[in-house]
Amino acid sequence: MTLTLKIYSRIVVAALATLSCSSVLVAAPPSGGSVMDQATPDSRRTWVYFVDKGLHTQAEVSAAVSDLAASYDPHAIARRQTRRSLPGLFDERDLPVCEAYVQGVVDVTGAEVHVRSKWLNAISVWATPDQLGGLEVLPFVDHIAPVRVGLLDLPELERTAEPGDQLQDPMGDGWYGYAEEQLAQINVIALHSAGFTGAGVRVGILDTGFHRAHIAFNHPDHPLQVITEWDFVDNDGNTDIENGDGGEQHAHGTMILGTLGAYQPNSYVGTAYDASFILCKTEDLYDEYQAEEDNYVAGLELIEANGGDVATSSLGYIDWYTQADLDGQTAVTTIGVNIATANGIHCCTAAGNEGHDSNPSRSHLIAPSDAYQVITCGAAESTGEIAGFSSDGPTADGREKPEVLARGASTWTISPYEDRGYGTASGTSLSTPLVAGAVACLEQARPEWTVDEVRTRLFTTADYYLANGTFDPLFIYGYGMIDVLAAADLIGFYEIVPGVAGEVNTLTARNVTPGNTAYFVWGLTEGTKAVPGCPGVSVQINNPQIGGTAMADGIGDAELIKTVPGAASGMTVYLQVVEPATCRKSNLLMFVFG
């Protein structure tokens, strides 16, 4: 044993002398081989946690942290500046794992690297029992732990339809197709009508894979926008169907992506159809163990580094945990979500399909639904009643979970099997992307809101809370069905009478805070202008001219009678309302003079 330790030490010193600990690009996916390439009959996936980042003085750490911004995604930096709840833009957890340590693990033990996690300061490796013994004695290894694995409970497509089949049309015009009723239930159609459809928002999805041949992903005027993708199972940049994938591998992820981003008017339109997507294939349905937590954490890190605003996962992990472990700080995936939300990502996850009971001390949750700031989603019927399979809380430390509801019973989505088909499926898997899409639209409307502010607005405008003034004490309904339009708390236009060029025009805004001043901001060209005193808030026109009227106490509307100077017949005017005292604003309106 003494001779073996000396050999380990000699190799490690050589590795530390020749390799840099800061050579990994911050937004790059993890390197390593595929599961099929690296697994041997007696190897197991194992976390290897390092003692540090290979920087041995605080000055070195501070310098490395300061250098991160130069190579980080600008969208991610903007999100951190607005919503990060930790001190500074970056900290030591954002530094990559030390490559000298990684190489030392490989050289000394022969273990095969699967993923790197900068947040956990760890790598996952395929290692045999003999290799595990070598890992534990390396001087730069803090400890090792098994990568938790398990099986998935995935929903199946229940009933199918083709374009042109008879559609129910509760809203009247049918533009949203099969999705109309479930979107109206959470009031996201009204938020779309106010101009907030997820445009400019980046949504990351962690799932089984994403087949994107469906017509609703390939509309000639509106194709799906994918910023980046990574397959953590096969370690490549293709999350679509590949050689060796089974027939069901991509079904679940494709349905989730469709619920969010599909666009085929009059057949199916998704919750955040104008958003852009970051796709992470994290689960292998044809492995002995389908769900592996290391892929999940690596996927979250990829979403964050590429500027994700919202992250959603409809998969959870419970096989290796007890309900007592779901305390917000034990499960690896839960820890990953906690770090993501602290960096300003609005995270949504499924509560699970384990059912519920009337015992408030007994829960049926899955990880990472216990994360502190994650929005945990239960499932409702089309009537608004709770679905029988929807899991209940609380968390082990007594927090309310699930927190919100959306339709998860017979929810319409695209078919993952037919490129022109649609169908229904059930599970908190389906309610979660409805909530995540609503959050993406809310993020577009309220980019200045923090993670906690979005949570608070969603919870305090949900139906159970409005009816009862609190959350469900049985931990089944949470705060209830969301109303994302109410959550947005927008100033809206009540009446606009532009009239004829040169005449007096009456403009009326609603939902202005009594006692405050509403400013009608208008211009002849579209663009963006910051609102003084409101960091992160801007009105969407250039060269604005402003008029305002003070509100009387108890009055909810503001009226401005104004003649637009120089207006000519056919001229387009852009108009928005802003309330500087609260930094609230309306949607952007365009009208043409007669």
Residues with catalytic function: 207, 252, 429
3-class DSSP string for 231-262: ECCCCECCCCCCCCCCCCCCHHHHHHHHHHHC
Nearest-5° Cα angle at 130, 124 to 136: 60
Pairing of strands 225-231, 276-281: parallel
| 449: number of Cβ within 10 Å | 22
End-to-end, the C-alpha distance of the chain in Å comes to 91
Distance CA 175, CA 68 (A): 45
Distance CA 109, CA 130 (A): 8
Retrieve residue 480's tokens: 């209830």
Burial class (CB in 10 A: 0-12, 13-18, 19+), 554: exposed
How many residues does this entry show for the chain?
Answer: 594
Instruction: Give the contacts of 585 (CB within 8 A, at least 6 positions apart).
Output: 490, 491, 531, 537, 539, 576, 577, 578, 579
Q: What are the two backbone dihedrals, phi and then psi, of residue 12, each rounded to the nearest 5 degrees? A: -65, -45
Residues forming a β-bridge with 526: 541
Which strands sit side by side in the sheet containing 141-146, from one edge to the other? 112-117, 122-127, 44-50, 141-146
Q: What is the DSSP string of 331-343?
A: SHHHHHHHHHHHT
Distance CA 408, CA 158 (A): 13
Q: How far is CA 201 from CA 95, 175, 346, 443, in A?
A: 25, 22, 11, 7
What type of residue is 188? V
Contact 423, 158 (CB under 8 A): yes
3-class DSSP string for 260-276: HHCEECCCEECCCCCCE
Contact 5, 13 (CB under 8 A): no
